[in-house]
Amino acid sequence: MEGINGTVFAYGQTASGKTYTMMGQEDQPGIIPQAIDDVFAYIREVFDREYLLRVSYLEIYNETIRDLLNPQQQDLRIHEDRKRGVYVSPLREEIVTTPKQVMKVIQRGEQARSYGSTEYNERSSRSHTVFQMIIESRDKNSGVTIPGRVRGSVTLSQLNLIDLAGSEKAASDLDRRKEGAFINKSLLTLGTVISRLTEDTVKPVSAIHIPFRDSKLTRLLQSSLSGNARVSVIATVSPPLPNLEETTNTLKFASRIKKVVLHAKQNQVLSEKALIQKYKLEIAELRHKLMETNDLLEQERALQDIGLERSIRMQYEERLHEGQLVRTALKERIDHLTRLILSSTSVTPKAILDWNAPLLEAAMAGVGVSHNIYTSPYSIMFM
Ligand SMILES: Nc1ncnc2c1ncn2[C@@H]1O[C@H](COP(=O)(O)OP(=O)(O)O)[C@@H](O)[C@H]1O
Ligand SMILES: [Mg+2]
């Protein structure tokens, strides 16, 4: 919320509880709904800033990115520029104003992922889903002047909540390949990237080649993994004995990733390109136009009162009517834009969840192990 990027991902073999941990169920909501509630609760308590929130939801399957909020869209690519960092385009981003609305967006995304139950299971074990929330905020009191100037800087942060493919898909050895096992390039590369980042070497990290570009997932996570984010990894394991090998692999991955050094910085943009600035400016301009229209209407009315000849009066009346329509349209647009910008007074106090979750709170506070109430499977969280 203060301009620092955050990434949470769930790593573990299929059926070990990744989706359960991230999404949860109605009676036991996961990280995603809790995080959403937290964002809105935070906004409610900050009196001197205003916020704009937008979300996107995508899936990486077979090294192809699919926009779950706009499934027809093809050819999504990863781009990079100095201002925006790494981003996917064209990707639908939706502006959201209530926790419920965010959950609805996610549900819509989930519907785009369902392809019949067998295929769903197979596909969900192979695909990675990335839910992203972009949080823009600015000082409520930093002014806007017309024409075309917005003062003050915008604080920008990204929250990535990621449900990875089953870690058993990271098969890399030749045997598995012979068996025709599916190799998940993104997961495999994630492992390699983490190993490189944590290799014991005298060289500084900047001098080591890290293959972020070898897969879609690592490319997307590049800035987080190379340090500009707070990253939490949830490792989920499944206790039954036949899963021993995968459990060991997951724990190895988790202990390696713990060594990655992060230097999260606060992002500030002066750019007038931030959506919140653009909207503030548009609101100010519309208000200005509204004032002008009001003045004009006043003048017309005054003229009308003078008592003119009928045909001229009809003309004035028509103009008056047009002016009123313009005024209504301007007012509606101003209202609409104003509603998109959130502040402590405009945020709904209605959370998605109405409960206290001491277990997850403990986990979020960085306490090493959080056993779920359930005996199996259970999750471990590394901060
Ligand atoms: N902590 C838990 N408590 C209760 N049920 C769980 C728990 N974790 C996972 N499950 C159940 O186990 C099954 C597999 O979990 P899931 O999250 O789908 O695994 P994954 O996403 O890792 O493949 C699901 O039916 C889920 O509801
Ligand atoms: Mg899953």
Tell whether the model's pLDDT for residue 116 goes beyond 70: no
Q: Are residues 318 and 191 in the same domain?
A: no
**The pLDDT of residue 146:** 59
CB 334 within 8 A of CB 290: yes
> Cβ(202)–Cβ(66) under 8 Å?
no
What pLDDT score does 203 carry? Answer: 66
End-of-domain residue from the set 247, 269, 291: 269
Please check the confidence at residue 97 and state whether its pLDDT lies above 50.
yes
Rounded-to-integer distance, Cα 214 and Cα 192, Å:
10
The residue nearest atom 27 of ligand 1, judged by CA position, is: 20
- Calculate the alpha carbon distances from 21 to 9, 76, 338, 359 in Å: 10, 28, 35, 12
3-class secondary structure, 205: helix
Q: Tell whether the model's pLDDT for residue 181 goes beyond 70.
A: no
The answer to whether residues 54 and 171 belong to one domain is: yes
Picking from 214, 243, 269, the residue at the C-terminal end of a domain is 269
Q: What is the pLDDT of residues 190-210, one digit of tens each?
A: 888 888 887 766 666 667 788
Residues 239 and 103 in one domain: yes
Q: Is residue 375 part of a domain?
A: no
pLDDT of 348 higher than 60 = yes
CATH of the domain at 179: 3.40.850.10
Q: Kindly state whether residues 139 and 64 are assigned to the same domain.
A: yes
Which pairs count as long-range contacts for 257-262, CB under 8 Å and 24+ apart, including other chains? 257/194, 257/198, 257/231, 257/233, 257/382, 258/233, 258/382, 259/197, 259/198, 260/194, 260/197, 260/198, 260/225, 260/227, 260/231, 261/205, 261/227, 262/227, 262/228, 262/229, 262/230, 262/231
Asked if residue 174 and residue 144 are part of one domain, the reply reads yes
Per-residue pLDDT for 159 more than 90? Answer: yes
Ligand 1, atom 3: closest residue by C-alpha? 374
Q: Is the pLDDT of residue 249 over 60?
A: yes
* 160 CA → ligand 2 middle, Å: 17
Residue 47 in any domain: the answer is yes
Structure confidence at residue 202 (pLDDT): 63
b/e code 60-81 from CB counts within 10 Å (16+ = b)? bbeeebbbbbbeeeeebeeeee
Residues tagged in the binding site annotation for ATP? 12-19
Is the pLDDT at 356 greater than 70? The verdict is: no
pLDDT tens for each residue of 322-339: 889 999 999 999 999 999
Helix, coil or strand: residue 275: helix
Give the pTM: 0.82
Residues 33 and 83 in one domain: yes
Tally of structural domains, the chain: 2
Residue 216, domain member (yes or no): yes
User: Of 242, 269, 296, which residue constitutes the final position of a domain?
Assistant: 269
Q: How far is CA 285 from CA 31, 137, 143, in A?
A: 40, 20, 13
Structural domain containing residue 320: 272-364
Q: Is 120 in the pocket of ligand 1 (CB under 6 A)?
A: no
Q: Is the CB of 372 under 6 A from ligand 1?
A: yes
Average pLDDT of the segment spanning 155-175: 78
More confident residue, 81 or 377: 81
Q: Across residues 277-296, what is the average pLDDT?
A: 90
Q: Is residue 380 part of a domain?
A: no
Task: Answer whether residue 381 is part of any domain.
Answer: no
My answer on whether 328 and 252 are in the same domain is no
Higher pLDDT, 65 or 301: 65
Smallest CA-to-CA distance from 358 within 371, 345, 347, 349 is with 371
Residue 377 lies in a domain: no
Q: Check whether residue 229 and residue 324 sit in a common domain.
A: no
382 part of a folded domain: no
Judge whether 376 lies within some domain. no
Indicate if 219 and 75 belong to the same structural domain: yes
Residues of the chain with pLDDT > 70: what percent?
80
Both 294 and 262 in a single domain? no
Residues 250 and 338 in one domain: no
> 6-12 and 230-237 as β-strands: parallel, antiparallel, unpaired?
parallel
Q: Are residues 81 and 165 in the same domain?
A: yes
How far apart (Å, rounded) are the C-alpha atoms in residues 191 and 215? 11
Which 8-state DSSP code applies to residue 342? B
Classify residue 153 as exposed, middle or buried by CB count within 10 Å of its CB (0-12, 13-18, 19+): middle
Compute the distance between CA of residue 334 and CA of residue 281 in angstroms, rounded to an integer: 11
Closest atom, ligand 1, to C-alpha of 125: 23
DSSP line for 14-58: TTSSHHHHHTEETTEE-HHHHHHHHHHHHHHH-SSEEEEEEEEEE
236 lines ligand 1 (CB under 6 A): yes
Please give the structure tokens belonging to residue 247: 């459990």
- Determine the average pLDDT of the residues in 343-353: 78
Least confident of 170-174, 193-197, 259-263, 372-376: 372-376
